[in-house]
Chains A and B, each alone.
Chain A
Amino acid sequence: MSYRSHADLGGRPNAERVQPEPEGELFHAAWEPRALAVTLAMGATGSWNIDMSRAARETLPDYGQSSYYRNWIGALEKLLAERGLLLPDELAAGRALHPARPVARVLHAAEVPEALARGSPTERPATAPARFRLGDAVRTRAQHVDHHTRLPGYAHGKRGVIEGVQDMHVFADRHAQGLGEQPQWLYRVAFGGSELWGDDAAPGLSVALDAWESYLEPAA
């Protein structure tokens, strides 16, 4: 098995300008709000978790060539098919051809405001002491892993400083693989620009990211 994310873009060469956009411009085609809503509604059934949907999106072969909501739909179709909830022949036919499979919940219209206001918190009660403290020097994992992960490539094997100790959180790497929550301590780690980019670093730049404990080792 070889897991490949197409979404790890930080620091990749890209000469394109960023195109600012007015505040009110939410959607660029009439199908986009429908794509948003159908994805949120299926997410609410509990048939997968958010880390599984991120993994489904980032491994779409045409991820880099597709728009945001097109990737959402591609991932939704993949997640549905993997679970036998909806099969490709049904999409082609535009109607149900196979019996429905049970889902844990259905989000009804009246429940939407409360469900959105509740969200899905990932903080969990501490079950172990934190290994690192504010100000500790750490080094991030250098190796590629063969599954969904939230340590960006540009921050592999880099020395940083713990700047925030953020409680224990559901561990995305395991959660995405269906291995349960396995919460770990989460830290905000700050890196100097030259640690990440060497002599190319922009003056006065530092970058911080959130890293689970198992991404980190003590550094001298």
Chain B
Amino acid sequence: MSHDHDQHDHEHSELDEMTLRVRALETVLAQKGYIDPAALDVLIDTYQTQIGPRNGARGVARAWADAAFRDWMLRDGTAAIASLGYSGRQGEHMVVLANTRQRHHMVVCTLCSCYPWPVLGLPPTWYKSAPYRSRAVKDPRGVLADFGVTLPEGTEIRVVDSTAELRYLVLPRPAGTEGFSEEQLAALVTRDSMIGTGLPQEPAR
């Protein structure tokens, strides 16, 4: 038992170092009165349970179902998305990019990891990784292949690098979803399809 425990500690030495380091930070910052420890719990709970890619999926589903909403989203992404209740931190200024038969969009932040938090939540590990940030602007088809996605030959690929405080959401193309409810549509919208590294799921036949 104690041997297993030592082994475990050894394997997780980086985690333990970081655990202690973050705990020390939290403790001292709270002692100095700079942070409210209860606020930390609310922040974590918010990003674990309330703010995530299902928000964006709801917006995409609405755009698929309602042409006027789609137009609004493309004209003023911030206002259209705020009308669904999603706004604020890391999505203050939203731009929606519509995929078409001719053009596919892919969003990256080569300089850090800017990402539209109110609609997609926290960025996945790959979005923050060196391979994605290095390759997306030069070899987007190679990146898509890593996701198992192949676009028809001749499709233009527009990569958008989020270098300022505008945040981008891809509006993917629906496939054969006549008569679907917004809820059914939203279930087809994957997170990756709203970044441009994936496509929506095909509806079940």
Q: Which residues does A use to contact B, with CB under 8 Å?
A: 5, 7-14, 16-21, 23, 25-26, 28-31, 33-38, 40-42, 45, 54, 57-58, 64, 68-70, 73, 76-77, 80, 85-86, 90-92, 94-96, 100, 103, 106-109, 111-113, 115-123, 150-152, 154-155, 164, 166, 169-170, 172, 186, 188, 190, 196-197, 200, 202, 204-212
Contacts and interface: CB of A to CB of B under 8 A. Distances in A.
A171 to B, nearest CB: 10
Contact of B160 (A23, A45, A80, A208): A208
7 contacts: A17-B131, A18-B126, A18-B146, A109-B42, A115-B89, A120-B89, A123-B92
B111 interface: yes
B121 A31 contact: no
B124 to A, nearest CB: 5
B122 interface: yes
The 5 closest A-B pairs by CB, nearest first: A10-B110, A119-B88, A210-B164, A109-B38, A14-B134
A210 B108 CA distance: 12
A210 B166 contact: yes
Contacts of B147: 18, 20
Nearest to A92: B24
Interface of B: 15, 18-29, 31-36, 38-44, 46-48, 51-53, 87-93, 95, 108, 110-113, 121-122, 124-126, 128-141, 143, 146-148, 154-166, 190-192, 197
Contacts of B20: 94
A164 to B, nearest CB: 8
B125 A31 contact: no
Contacts of B133: 9-10
A20 B146 contact: yes
Contacts of A96: 28, 31-32
B138 A197 contact: yes
A108 B36 contact: yes
A10 B161 contact: yes
A85 B34 contact: yes
